[in-house]
Amino acid sequence: MKDIHVQAQKDHIFSLCASATIPAISELIWNALDADAYDVKVDVIQNSLGAIDAVRVGDDGTGINIEEIDHNFGNLGGSWKRITDRTRETGRVLHGCKGRGRFKAFSLGNYVKWYTTVNTDTGLTSFTISGEAADPSHFTLDEQDETGPATGTEVMITNIRNSLSSLRDTTAVLQQLSSYFALYLKAYPNVKIYFQGLLVNPVIVQKARQGYSLKSSTGETAQLEIIEWKSKKNKAKIIFCNPQGFALHEVDAGIRPGNEFNFTAYLISPLFEKLNAENLLVVEELHPEINAFLNAARNTLRAYFRTIREKKEHDIRYQWLEENIYPFDSKSQDELRPLFDNCAQALQTYSNSFEELTVPEKRIIFGLLKDALESNPRSATKTLTDNLKMPAATKKTLR
């Protein structure tokens, strides 16, 4: 057994251990990818009662270099990645460079063990590195008698902290990981990431994708890539990325296009990599150039979703006309028509059975809705919003 002590103040190390669940898992995945892994598998191990006992992240990468273990694990900020921007075997672009990612594992559980197998001059060698959240400045290294069948690393996190309940929603986790790794997986299609045996595939969970070019007043350029997701569970974000698609910093999207939209917007430019190295991305609202790109991105996003809404409204009205259920002439200028359109779209969107109705039944309902709105619009819209499970924001637009 060998002891490894991290050369840094403990309070600083403890601060590096704090992380939300998905970002912590993402850091472990990035470490695997930086070790030239092609397959990374994340598994959540539950007991008979459904509680999470462990989180396991395994990969088929090159393993942890035992000759550099003291330097890589014993020094904070001294990662070998700082002297290169490419992985050693495949030449893929590196993500980490500060040697901090491993500490995020302690935000998931109190005990973390790395099982790793590497190629050495004498052949394959396997060993473990263990650490505890109670003292993340201390690790122990043990060589294993039995050698693994191939190079790679498995991180096992036990004595789980909190409940990690968010990991039980597999669909939501797949989408969140897709948003984190979408650009990387696009750049390296031979890389595979799995969660609970299911492939993290941004193409499967995305609804639409659109790109734009932005330019600041100083002449700097950035690409804005918008991905709409099928699920509606995640908070919309704008993510600053370097040209290789690595997420550097994220902020709230700052726009509210409607509850039917769930998206991630990626701002991509070498400028952000430079500013991130200077720790300026975290003050995005105060930095004039970053703020200018943020405003341009938000304006583009508003225009993008406004166009989608207008097309959707046009298409749905055309459908009503085709089915002959719309109680207005196609060229009608009736002042009630905009309110009717909003209410009818809400009815179609939030009713669980509207699409199952026959055309005559839809025609009757639309006719009754029009009569009710003509008679007492306030009462009619209240009845509609009280009986349909629609978001508060949608209710507000109808009242």
Total count of domains within the chain: 3
Residues 137 and 257 in one domain: no
pTM of the model: 0.70
The per-residue pLDDT for 394 is: 60
CB of 106 closer than 8 Å to CB of 133: yes
- Cα–Cα distance between 156 and 151 in angstroms, integer? 16
pLDDT given for residue 225 in this prediction: 94
DSSP string, 7-76: SS-HHHHHHHT---HHHHHHHHHHHHHHTT-SEEEEEEEE-TTS-EEEEEEEE-S----GGGHHHHHH-T
Residue 263 and residue 229: Cα distance in Å, rounded?
A: 6
Confidence (pLDDT) at 83: 47
Going by C-alpha positions, the residue among 276, 284, 272, 243 that lies closest to residue 98 is: 276
Residues 16 and 124 in one domain: yes
Whether 279 and 383 share a structural domain: no
SS3 assignment, position 338? helix
DSSP 8-state code for residue 86: B
301 with 334, same domain: the answer is no
Among the candidates 121, 151, 168, a domain finishes at 168
> Residue 214: which domain range?
202-309
Q: How far is 223 from 213, CA to CA, in rounded Å?
A: 5
Judge if 19 and 144 occupy the same domain. Answer: yes
Task: Express each pLDDT in 153-183 by its tens digit.
Answer: 999 999 998 888 889 999 889 988 988 898 8
pLDDT at residue 257, rounded to an integer? 82
Q: Do 14 and 147 have their domain in common? A: yes
Domain identity same for 111 and 234: no
Look at residues 115, 144, 168 and tell me which one is the last residue of a structural domain: 168
Residue ranges in the chain modelled with pLDDT below 50 = 78-83
Q: Rounded to whole angstroms, how far apart are CA atoms 242 and 184?
A: 11
CA 345 to chain centre: 30
pLDDT at 222: 93
Pick from 309, 335, 358: which residue ends a domain? 309
Has residue 197 been placed in a domain?
no
Q: Which residue has the tokens 């970002």?
A: 23
So what's the pLDDT on residue 210?
Answer: 93
**pLDDT tens readout for residues 49-108:** 889 999 999 999 999 887 777 666 666 654 444 445 677 777 787 775 555 778 899 999
Q: How far apart are CA 224 and CA 222, in angstroms?
A: 7
Same domain as 82, residue 59: yes
Residues 311 and 348: beta-carbon distance below 8 Å: no
Distance CA 155, CA 143 (A): 16
CATH code for the domain in which residue 93 is found: 3.30.565.10
